[in-house]
Amino acid sequence: MSKYGVIVMGPAGAGKSTFCASLITHLQLNRRSAFYVNLDPAAESFEHAPDLDIKDLISLEDVMDEMQLGPNGGLIYCFEFLMENLDWLTESLDSLTEEYLIVIDMPGQIELYTHIPILPRLVKFLTQPGALDMRLCAAYLLESTFIVDRAKYFAGTLSAMSAMIMLEVPHINILSKMDLLKGQIKNKEIKRFITPDTTLLEDDPAEVAQRKAGLAVEPKSNDPKDKEAVMSGASFRKLNEAVAGLIENFSMVSFLKLDSTSEDSVSSILSYIDDCIQYHEAQEPRELADDEVHAEE
């Protein structure tokens, strides 16, 4: 029996846990079964108590104390430990029927997505036919406020693309916290960021402001500590153009918009997830509950 799930990824603070919570609330309101898996050993408070929590397998605090590691090293250790104890996942997920949407909340450390091959191994394990056989959709969140800084937006898009290439499962990219842009940026302008392309660098507000202020077009110093010098000027622009060009050439990334505070927005993202994993095709027709029958009448 196949299982159905979504793995929610993205940089720190992108809104992953909030999205997981809104998604679970929405599933519950629509009488769908959700199973919430928290894989962030540093997460402390939850809107919905996790059905499975990595903290029950390993404690980040203990790891940091005993192995004398910092939070990032500790997290990597926790994931390596998880990979050696995958039975822990199998035991809990094995009995879930295809009715469930398994929602997996990931930590925000970017190392996990780019530097080490743990995530591809985890995804391979979850999706392996004959074992858990999960139809899994990867959802990569990027904070929409990044669009005011083109360099940040393209760097974030590059990390989304890197996760996409690495994971080889259906993938959606999401600009989160769209409500924060309301009244700040016109809808027409926001549309330009849905599919990234190099023309977005032509009117980079940061660069326009620099030019207006008569600031250097070349870094004054090569000292990486001199952030302002390194993060501006013609060389920095060339770097951004190269990154934006790479993203455009691959033409793999486009974004969906999410406002986790809006039920309609969460519902629309859920439809994409359902389509990606063909959730509805697998469902048995179910009988309507009494109140649903009345609502239909």
Ligand X SMILES: Nc1nc2c(ncn2[C@@H]2O[C@H](COP(=O)(O)OP(=O)(O)OP(=O)(O)O)[C@@H](O)[C@H]2O)c(=O)[nH]1
Report the distance separating Cα 59 and Cα 134, nearest Å.
Answer: 27
Least distance (Å) from ligand X to the CB of residue 136? 19
* 177 contact, one of ligand X, Mg ion, none, CB 5-8 Å limit per kind: ligand X
Report the distance separating Cα 274 and Cα 271, nearest Å. 5
14 binds, among Mg ion, ligand X, none (CB under 5 to 8 A by kind): ligand X
- Residue 280 CB contacts under 8 Å (≥ 6 apart), including other chains: 274
Whose Cβ is closer to ligand X: residue 15's or residue 196's?
15
CB of 61 to ligand X, least distance (A): 16
What are the distances in angstroms from CA 101 to CA 111, 131, 138, 180?
Answer: 27, 17, 13, 28
Which does residue 252 bind out of Mg ion, ligand X, none, counting CB within 5 to 8 angstroms by kind?
none
Give min distance, CB of 11 to ligand X, in A: 7
Find the shortest distance in angstroms from Cβ 108 to ligand X.
Answer: 2
Q: Is 17 in the site for ligand X (CB under 6 A)?
A: yes
16 binds ligand X, rule: CB under 6 A: yes
Q: Is 138 in the site for ligand X (CB under 6 A)?
A: no
d(CA 35, CA 89): 12
* Token pair of 50 as six digits: 């996790």
Residue 127 touches which of ligand X, Mg ion, none (Cβ within 5-8 Å per kind): none
- Smallest separation (angstroms) from ligand X to the CB of 26: 13
Nearer to ligand X, 179 or 248 (CB): 179
Among Mg ion, ligand X, none, residue 179 binds (CB under 5-8 Å by kind): ligand X
CB 116 → ligand X: shortest distance, Å? 17
- Stretch of 12-20, 23-31, 192-200, 238-246 contacting ligand X, by CB under 6 A: 12-20
Point out the residue whose Cβ comes nearest to ligand X: 108
173 binds, among ligand X, Mg ion, none (CB under 5 to 8 A by kind): none
- Least distance CB 11 / Mg ion (angstroms): 11
Identify what 268 binds: ligand X, Mg ion, none; CB under 5 to 8 Å per kind: none
176 binds ligand X (CB under 6 A): yes
Residue 108 engages ligand X in binding (rule: CB under 6 A): yes
- Looking only at residues 24 through 53 of this chain, which bind ligand X when binding is defined by CB under 6 A? 40
Site for Mg ion, rule CB under 5 A = 16-17
- Member of 114, 184, 254, 261 binding ligand X (CB under 6 A): 261
Q: Does 147 bind ligand X (CB under 6 A)?
A: no
Q: How many CA atoms lie within 13 A of 263 on its CB side?
A: 6
> Which residue reads 């486009």 in tokens?
254
Q: Which residues bind ligand X (CB under 6 A)?
A: 12-18, 40, 107-108, 176-177, 179-180, 259-261
